[in-house]
Structure 1
Amino acid sequence: MTRASIYTVGGTVQAGSGIYIPRQADEELLKLCREGAFAYILTARQMGKSSLMVRTAEQLAKEGIRSVIVDLQNSGGQITPEQWYLNFAMRLKRQLRFKADVLAWWRERRHLSVSQRLTLFFEEVLLAEVEERVVVFVDEIDSTLSLDFTDDFFTAIRYLYVARAQNLVLKRLSFVLIGVATPSDLIRDPWRTPFNVGQRVDLTDFSFEEALPLAAGLGLAETEAKRVLDWVLKWTNGHPYLTQRLCRVVAEAGPPGPQCWGENGGRVWLIAQFQVEREAWYPLAARSGGR
């Protein structure tokens, strides 16, 4: 693996590939999932939400807790409510690999609304087929904001949470919602109860201590690598994507010359290196305030 290849600049950090930087959110989310709590991670893009989701699901699997990851961005835009909800149920079946004929079950209950069928599906099919606890990660939930029928989806999730008090089986089921929307965006009908269940998990920017593993890929002596990493973090404010991207640029550029170690030399050198990838320059400048 080359030095630059240890940095992930887009997509998720898969197990065994690239450097994954654990943060406080890792411990918080894993703890909530172990407890069967409902949780949500709603923050800006490129903050590492999907990588956190994948890593948490991998850890839960080691502990005997089943996980399902449903990316709503792949559900399509031109779609009917019937297709959207059935597609959601079918994706759960494929990942959990249970035997029930979901299509037949779904069609037999056409007299019910799609959201009613979905809640019954969890109760009568999924939890009947899967004996272990199940965590459903729902990624890219903001993609639902362009659809006019998904208020019922989040209302159904809220129902599954509230109904735990009467139906103990539902305590084996929990959800983690992931995206850039806010909880108030999820149910837009002002006459409905807002989406007010679940615990928020905050994803923070990298601190210097958290980001230290990234210094190993810069190809510099330890002291110099830490200094360059400090330069990078001052530019990116610790933003995960921008930090890894600038580290990759630095690693590919090679070590800075002696003239760069002065007070302003590092700043000038970073600017020169980052011009190599101009398409990423503008978000970096906006994020860092143009320092």
Structure 2
Amino acid sequence: MHNSFYQITGGSLRPGAPTYVEREADDILWKFTQSERNNCDVCYILAPRQTGKTSLINKTVDKLRSQPNICVTISLQEFGNIDSESSLYLNLIRSICKQVLDIGIIKSGTKPVNLVKKLDGLWSKDQNVQPTVKFREFLIAEILKKINTNLVIFIDEVQGLISWKLNNEFVGFLKSLTENNNEPTLKQLAFVLLGVAKPSDLVTNYTYAFNFGKHIEISYFTGDCEPLQAGIKTVTNNPQKVLNAILYWTGGQPFLTQVLCDLVARNPQILENTDIEDYIKKIVDDKIIVNWRRQDQQNHLNGIDKWFYTTSPDQKLTKLAALRIYRSLLGSGKGAIKFDEYNSLHWELLISGIVKKEDDYLKVANSIYEQIFNLNWVYERETFLQEDSMSQVPFSTIYNRDVFILIDQSASMVRKDADTGEQTRYQYLEEVIEGHINSILSETTGQEKICESVSVYFFSRNQVDDYPIKVSDAAQVQSLFLENKPKTKTFIGPTIDRCLDIWLAEGKPKNRGAFFIIYTDGLFDDEPRFENCLKKACNNIEDEKTVKFIILGLGKDIDEMSFLNLYFNVNNRLPYNVFVFNLVNEVDDIIQELERQLVDDPSLAFPEWVKKKYPEFVKKVNAPR
């Protein structure tokens, strides 16, 4: 690797590096370290690889050390393999002691106190004291009470906690420090956590909550990025124009921007009449995109690629669901979707680095990624994950299913609501269901489809037709609605029972799962029978992913809480969680809604509207039982 003005090798920028570009995160982090605190405080920076997290810390620590503050920097990678809580907290407090000892601020007379030696003598004394208690008490008594200044502890590579399976307990411990009002010295203490991890990865047990601290986002490069111009001034008289063309391709991704700046700076002088956009495009094509796996010496592009196939078995479905969202970004035309901070799949894409958040929207991170991680790449990754997942876990994907569509035909469907505008509920549903059926019939991956046709039933009376209507083309929906007008009561039992019998006789023996998608505007007149059908389904399966009964509600008459109690099995009425409830107008993509039911991620269980409208219910469900 040649010497370069730019940072094109792995690792972080040193303090004072000439190509360091300040971003909003610099100012936010600095203010966090300087703010007055009433107690211990925490902030966290969770971002993809090679976005400048550690460089930001190096710059901040260098600046802090010119003030009367004590800074400690710890990388969890240095600890190797941690196999217990005791080992984790001992290694943490030893690292803190060593760095405080090097500063020499704690003294006995004129000599620095050997905190490490003192710690080693105390740590092993009482085996009945929890390691978190030992850590806290030593930190307070031997460090905080003796330094008379602030202590900022930077902990990098926090994703290590996840592999050690100590993430929940560590987050819980930090939260306890922030809530401790009995020890005034804790206001001298602040933690800064950094890593490549989703919030839902750091807290996987709902007895803990990641609802404290400040999240600092690291943005990509924007504006004139003056520090980057110095290196390309050697080959052009218009460095800003060249840099703008570079940023167009990199989207401001920090490492990729430095790499492309270096490629330009190593080229001959750019002639005055050169078309800059074409010039930069040719460099991008020749030096980055073509044979990208071979040319990517610093594992930047390959790292993103591996994120989606080098993964544990229980994460494969999550990766598949995240790729579906990414595919919609590539193919939607609008190129952006609203970011939901509670959506683990959105975080999955963000932390992979393949997308970025801009003005609260997710979009493909840059034009280079769009060329490399294109629809063909998505297809390859989906095929790999799909085949691998299906070989390990039956019914773990949305494919190879019997799909039953059940449509409420009760008289109340002629009513109008604010959500349906000038249309009746029934008229409104027609277009929704046509779109849903079209998506279901069109969805494929590799050689797999969800189904060749869907089975449609209209329900209202306390009886049922012998056979469902087979729909193999969504265009059939319009005529079905014309032929089946709203009628009387809302009896679901006979219809859902018939659908279940059909699946048990035809689908299950052929190892097909099933989705029962029910569109309704209220409670059922035979709710006990509906519940009995759910129990009947549970008695005929061994895995709750085999079948899902998905109610999509419409209109102001929906008893949301009744359905939510059944959805989250509050009273343990069902042996398996096979029932799902959502609102028609909260489902942007029926395929994503189906996939969400099969992903082993508790953070995805609650639709966003439930969290906002029923926070006490969410708290009740999440409480340990």
Normalization by structure 2: what TM-score?
0.43
Task: Pick from 121, 135, 148 the counterpart of residue 118 of structure 1.
Answer: 135
Are positions 1:84 and 2:88 aligned together? yes
Residue of structure 2 equivalent to 1:290: 371
Residue 61 (structure 1) aligns with: 65
Q: Quick one: distance in 2 between partners of 1:146 and 1:61?
A: 32
Query: Following the alignment from structure 1 to structure 2, what is the Cα–Cα distance between the partners of residues 18 and 120?
Result: 42
- C-alpha separation between the residues in 2 aligned to 1:47 and 1:262? 26
Change over 3 Å in CA distance of 1:257–1:151 after alignment to 2: same
Q: Distance in 2 between matches of 1:270 and 1:182?
A: 31
Distance 2:33 2:95 in 1: 20
Q: What is the aligned counterpart of 1:75 among 67, 74, 79? A: 79
Alignment CA distance shift 1:140-1:262 (3 Å): closer
Change (3 A) 1:34 1:117: same
Cα distance in 1 for partners of 2:121, 2:145 equals 16
Say if 2:199 is the partner of 1:176: no
Distance 2:276 2:31 in 1: 45
Letter in 2 for 1:237: G
Q: Is the 8 A contact 1:43 1:180 kept in 2?
A: yes
Residue 233 in 1 paired to residue 247 in 2? yes
Match of residue 213 from structure 2: 198
Matches within 5 A, 1:183-222: 183-190=199-206, 192-209=207-224, 211-218=225-232, 219-222=234-237
- What's the offset of the Cα at 1:60? 1.4
**Greater helix share, structure number:** 1
Identify the match of residue 120 of structure 2 among 99, 103, 112: 103
Query: Mapping of 1:29-44 within 5 angstroms?
Result: 29-35=29-35, 36=37, 37-44=41-48
Measured at CA, do residues 227 and 66 of structure 1 come closer, stay the same or move farther in structure 2, by a change above 3 Å? Answer: same
Secondary structure in structure 1 of the residue aligned to 2:149: coil
Task: Find out whether 1:127 has 2:144 as its counterpart.
Answer: yes
- Unaligned runs of at least 5 residues, structure 1: none
State how far apart, in whole Å, the 2-side matches of 1:60 and 1:282 are.
Answer: 31
1:266 and 1:259 map into 2 onto residues whose CA distance is 14
Once the two structures are TM-superposed, the CA of residue 8 in structure 1 deviates from its matched residue by: 4.9
- Structure 2: stretches of 5+ with no match in the other structure: 107-112, 305-353, 355-365, 373-625
1:5 is paired with a residue of what secondary structure?
Answer: coil
1: distance between equivalents of 2:283 and 2:57? 35
The equivalent of 2:623 in structure 1 is none
- Whether contact under 8 Å (1:183, 1:196) holds in the other structure is no
SS of residue matched to 1:264? helix
1:94 aligns with 2:175: no
Change (3 A) 1:108 1:131: farther
Structure with larger Rg: 2
* C-alpha distance in structure 2 between counterparts of 1:102 and 1:282, whole Å: 41
Q: Percent identity?
A: 26
Q: 1:266 to 1:54 in 2, by over 3 A?
A: closer
> Residue 209 of structure 2: SS of its match in structure 1?
coil
Alpha carbons 2:171, 2:208 under 8 Å: kept: no
In structure 1, the residue matched to 2:261 is 247
Report if aligned partners of 1:6, 1:17 keep a CA contact under 8 Å in 2. no
* Alpha-carbon distance in 2 for matches of 1:263, 1:71: 41
Following TM superposition, by how much is the alpha carbon of 1:75 offset from its aligned partner in structure 2, in angstroms?
1.2
- The offset of 1:232, in angstroms, is 1.1
Secondary structure at 1:70 match in 2? strand
| Per-residue deviation, 1:208 | 2.9
Alpha-carbon contact 1:256-1:269 (below 8 Å) kept:
no
Q: Distance in 1 between matches of 2:300 and 2:189?
A: 43
Q: Secondary structure at the match of 1:141?
A: coil
Range with bigger deviation, 255-264 or 130-139: 255-264
SS in 2 for 1:208: coil
* Structure 2 residue 25 is matched with structure 1 residue 10: no
Q: 3-state DSSP class of the match of 2:296?
A: helix
Residue 285 of structure 2 corresponds to 271
CA distance in structure 2 between the aligned counterparts of 1:65 and 1:78, rounded to whole angstroms: 30
Aligned residues: 286
Report the counterpart of residue 162 of structure 2 in structure 1.
Answer: 145
Instruction: List per-residue Cα deviations over 1:39-69 (Å, max 9, x = no partner).
Output: 1111111110001111111111112111101
2:217 alignment partner AA: D
> Within 1, Cα distance between the matches of 2:230 and 2:79?
39
Residue type of the alignment partner of 1:174:
A
More divergent stretch after superposition (267-276 vs 19-28): 267-276
Q: What are the Cα deviations for residues 11-31 of structure 1, in whole angstroms up to 9, with x where unaligned?
A: 111123342111111000000
Cα offset, 1:261, TM superposition: 1.6
CA spacing shift, 1:90–1:148, aligned 2, 3 Å: same
Task: Give yes or no for contact 1:73–1:140 (8 Å, CA) kept in 2.
Answer: yes
Contact 1:253 1:273 in 2 (8 A): no
SS class of match (2:179): helix
Conserved in 1, the CA contact under 8 Å of 2:168 and 2:208?
Answer: no
1:271–1:212 CA distance, 2 compared to 1 (3 A):
farther
Whichever residue aligns with residue 12 of structure 2, its letter is T
Structure 1 distance, partners of 2:3, 2:272, is 21
CA distance 1:227–1:262, shift in 2 (3 Å): closer
2-side partners of 1:41 and 1:126: how far apart? 26
Conservation of the 8 A alpha-carbon contact between 1:142 and 1:181: yes
SS in 1 for 2:74: strand
Sort the Cα spacing of 1:217 and 1:148 in 2 relative to 1 into closer, same or farther, 3 A: same
Q: TM-score, normalised by structure 1?
A: 0.88
CA contact (8 A) 1:28 1:201 kept: yes
Change (3 A) 1:226 1:117: same
